[in-house]
Amino acid sequence: MTTFDITNSKQSEEDKALQEALKASGAIPEHIAVIMDGNGRWAQQKGGLRILGHRNGVASVRDITESCAQLGVKHLTLYAFSTENWGRPEEEVNGLMKLLVATLESEAETLRRNNIRLVTIGQCDRFPADIQKKLDEVKALTADNTHMELCLALSYSGRWDITQAVQHIAQKVAEGTVLPHEIDDDMISEHLATAGKPDPDLVIRTSGEFRVSNFLLWQLAYSEFFVSATFWPDFRRDELYNAIESFQQRDRRFGKLSKRHTKSIPSSVIRTLMS
């Protein structure tokens, strides 16, 4: 199994030039989150079992992680196993678990060498003990790394995340350390599994589906979306570059007026429009 490397000597001159052009043409998103979808349909098209799609999806995980690190993305979050995925046939769930362990084993040293920190969000305590142990080992091995954070959402769902945050805040209210009127956006963000991370700037979903699927529900409030028709096992860096290029052309207003408009419209007119 080949590994990824930020200083990969195998990186083509053409790819280097594409990355430089992308960096020059606009801001690189600080946080990219990916809903990796279409593994099952990819396998079905090849006449194979669903696990074949998941196995081939690992090559995409590697390519996207490597190219994000090379581009200077600081946070990459991958939706690798949702709370709902526990409801899949036992054979598929077990296959995914084995694949996770095998990938952690084969890629741990590469993550360490490339200064990438592995973290997780989700109910990892629902995983078998050997998987938790492997995750803890790789997290510890890479804990001091600073170039990029690779966050795997494992046994994760947005509703679970919000629920556990509400439970923790309610506990503090019951103990009298937080007053109800003190609860605000920032406090809720600080109690989510993603506490301390910036919200995703760009969310990519593969396989042509236009759904959020219980991903980072709170955190996606102002994220830009890019949907690719490609199934995840075929998704490679050329499509990542398309997604970033599209992101660079978006006019992010965060519910306000764009700079383009605020420059030309007198403030009195803006006040009238907003009233």
* Residue ranges in contact with ligand FPP by CB under 6 A: 36-41, 50, 54, 57-58, 61, 78, 80, 85, 99-100, 103, 152, 207, 232
In the bound state with ligand FPP, the residue whose beta carbon lies nearer, of 104 and 244, is: 104
Query: Among residues 82 and 165, whose Cβ is nearest to ligand FPP?
Result: 82
User: Which one is catalytic: 8, 85, 214, 242?
Assistant: 85
**Least distance to ligand FPP, CB of residue 262, Å:** 41
User: Count of CB atoms within 10 A of residue 14's CB?
Assistant: 8
Rounded Cα distance between 85 and 255, Å, is: 34
Q: Smallest distance, Å, CB 207 to ligand FPP?
A: 6
CB atoms within 10 A of CB 208: 13
d(CA 61, CA 109): 16
Whose CB is nearest to ligand FPP?
Answer: 40
Is residue 185 annotated as a catalytic residue, yes or no? no
Please say which residue, 22 or 79, places its beta carbon nearer to ligand FPP. 79
Residue closest to 118 by CA, chosen among 65, 192, 196: 65
Strand partners, 120: 152
Q: Is the Cβ of residue 80 or residue 169 nearer to ligand FPP in the bound state?
A: 80
- Please say if 85 is a catalytic residue: yes
Closest distance to ligand FPP from the beta carbon of 94 (Å): 13
- Is residue 27 within 8 A of residue 244, CB to CB? The reply is no
Q: Which residues contact 231 (CB under 8 A, 6 or more apart)?
A: 37, 38, 39, 41, 42, 45, 53, 206, 207
Closest Cα partner for 62 from 90, 18, 99, 25? 99
Give the nearer residue to ligand FPP in terms of CB position, either 16 or 211.
211
Q: How far is the CB of 50 from ligand FPP (least distance, A)?
A: 6
Min dist. Cβ of residue 202 to ligand FPP (A): 19
Cα 159 → chain centroid: 16
Active site residues: 37, 85
